[in-house]
Structure 1
Amino acid sequence: MDGNEPEDLHGRTFRGRNLRGSRFVGCDLGGVVVRGSDVAGMEVDSPWLLEDGGTFLVNGVDVVPLVDAELDRRFPGRELRRADDPEGLRRAWAALEETWAATVARATAMPAATVDRSVDGEWSFAQTLRHLVMATDTWLGRAVLQREHPFHPLGLPNDDDGAGTAAFDGSEFSSRAPSFEEVLAARADRQALVRAYLSDVTAEQLDAPRRNPHAPEHGETVLSCLRTILEEEWEHHRYAVRDLDALPTSA
């Protein structure tokens, strides 16, 4: 095996092993079966599970629908992310803008530099907003509007997806760390771009074909691209709130 290749543990059986406190990041655990093992305190975060129609059985109970319903309860407006008509999409985006405005206000009211602090190696609050600028440029600017140069220089691509990042012109990204005021300005500009597009989009336009910006051989529609933006927004809002909850609220 190439020394640079990760060890393939596919199909292995582990008996009597101590994995307490282990972290699995970017791993394929699909189809893993756990029997007679202590899982107290285990934390699983897999946003794709909710969207791909998969199952997650705990003591024989599929908890995916339960988790989805609980997230909708915690984040009012999240249930609108599956809207399939222009008015529904407008309501979905309005709910997101209202939610994010409250969360940005919360973050800026916390101790200085909170917006630049990372929790467990995850993106900081400011980096999350920069990534959402990138997501908007990818799925609206590039895929839907088909702009030749859609990317804002402060947009932050996935740092663990070299293949995806390579598909873009790297010269369009800034290597310097921007101020939070600059991040907020870029974010507001891209939110306004989505709002403006949705303001007069028609049902016919939603059905128009588009190419997946990461895999052009795969077809999309304008609607599926817009729904991807909604998913990105809600998932990263969940991450942001999770990490803000873990940070001190006073100096």
Structure 2
Amino acid sequence: MVDIEFEDRRGSRIQHQDLRGAQFVRDRMGDAVFRDVGLQRVRMRGVELTDADIDGEIDGLTIWGVEVAPLLIAELDRRHPERSALRARTPDEVRAGYEALQRMWDATIGRVREMPPGTADVSVDGEWSFTETIRHLVLATDAWLNLAILRREQPFHPLGLLFWEAQGLEDRYGLVPLGTAVTLDEALAARADRVAQVRAHLTGLTQDELDRDAGTNPWGDGGADDSRVTVRQCLRVIFDEEWQHHRYATRDLATIATQG
């Protein structure tokens, strides 16, 4: 067996590097963390992928010749019927889907209320705390309902939390500065207001409104190449944010409970 001498870079941080086309050969990457990394068209051969945890946008991934994403989606749909909201195409389906998502969140909020004080402010592995997650859902609703669909002049609640790529731009959107202390009750009050706004909009929703062109993506740069979205697509983003961040929150709550 050939002895290989490894350069010791344990604990190093590789950030903002363009590594397209790079080759990683006989490297030790156990316990490595990949966060917001573009892995399009990556090929892995002879790898040892044991006890790995992968989360992100997965499309076209094949393992042992089998495309994985459709299998994962089918299993998630089996476990979580409320995911039907993500495929809603009629006003009645949209309204029913949103209410299913709210029941899901109500149960989890109740669970957090019963956990030890301070649980809502605990971050697991650098992820958002429960309170921060609630604040981000407020921001997502504002972006895709109040800005994208309703085109309100002042769409954002000040307690909304920007996604990480936009953090530092709080002043632009009328948000409190990053790092401002916000309690769970304050975050939930803001969320309750935004949930009421969504419900009010859905009450009179028609098929024509659902299919209406809502203009350009609210997070675009205002250029001619910005994608256009329908009202249904905007609502789908809100619903997807509700679903995905609930998954992250319950994952982290389970970790907190275990560490207890």
Q: For residues 110 and 44 of structure 2, what CA distance do their matches in structure 1 show?
A: 42
Which residue of structure 2 aligns with residue 126 of structure 1? 131
Structure 2 residues not aligned, in runs of 5+: 1-13
Query: Is the contact between residue 138 and residue 150 of structure 1 (CA under 8 Å) also seen in structure 2?
Result: yes
Q: Specify which of 6, 9, 15 is matched with residue 19 of structure 2.
A: 9
SS at match of 1:77: helix
Q: Specify which of 67, 74, 78 is matched with residue 72 of structure 2.
A: 67
Are 2:121 and 1:103 aligned? no
TM-score for the superposition, normalised by structure 1: 0.90
Structure 1 residues not aligned, in runs of 5+: none
Which residue of structure 1 aligns with residue 95 of structure 2? 90
SS at match of 1:160: helix
Which residue of structure 2 aligns with residue 35 of structure 1? 45
Q: For residues 67 and 209 of structure 1, what CA distance do their matches in structure 2 show?
A: 31
Which residue of structure 2 aligns with residue 177 of structure 1? 181
Q: For residues 114 and 31 of structure 1, what CA distance do their matches in structure 2 show?
A: 39
Q: What whole-Å deviation, never above 9, does each CA across 1:195-220 have from its counterpart, x for those lacking one? A: 11111111111122122101143211
Letter paired with 1:248 = A
CA RMSD of aligned residues (A): 1.9
Looking at CA atoms only, which structure, 1 or 2, has the larger radius of gyration?
Answer: 2
Query: Is the contact between residue 156 and residue 173 of structure 2 (CA under 8 Å) also seen in structure 1?
Result: no
Q: For residues 25 and 249 of structure 1, what CA distance do their matches in structure 2 show?
A: 24
Sort the Cα spacing of 1:250 and 1:107 in 2 relative to 1 into closer, same or farther, 3 A. farther
State the shift of 1:79 in Å. 2.3
State the shift of 1:75 in Å. 2.2
Q: For residues 180 and 15 of structure 1, what CA distance do their matches in structure 2 show?
A: 47
Which residue of structure 1 aligns with residue 251 of structure 2? 242
Q: Which deviates the most, 134-143 or 207-216?
A: 207-216
Which residue of structure 2 aligns with residue 201 of structure 1? 205
TM-score for the superposition, normalised by structure 2: 0.87
State the shift of 1:26 in Å. 1.3
State the shift of 1:249 in Å. 6.3
State the shift of 1:5 in Å. 7.7
Which residue of structure 2 aligns with residue 187 of structure 1? 191
Q: For residues 203 and 171 of structure 1, what CA distance do their matches in structure 2 show?
A: 31
Q: What whole-Å deviation, never above 9, does each CA across 1:10-44 have from its counterpart, x for those lacking one? A: 11222211111111111111111111111101111
Sort the Cα spacing of 1:19 and 1:188 in 2 relative to 1 into closer, same or farther, 3 A. same
Q: For residues 45 and 117 of structure 2, what CA distance do their matches in structure 1 show?
A: 46
Bigger RCO of structures 1 and 2 (CA < 8 A, at least 6 apart): 1
Letter paired with 1:100 = W
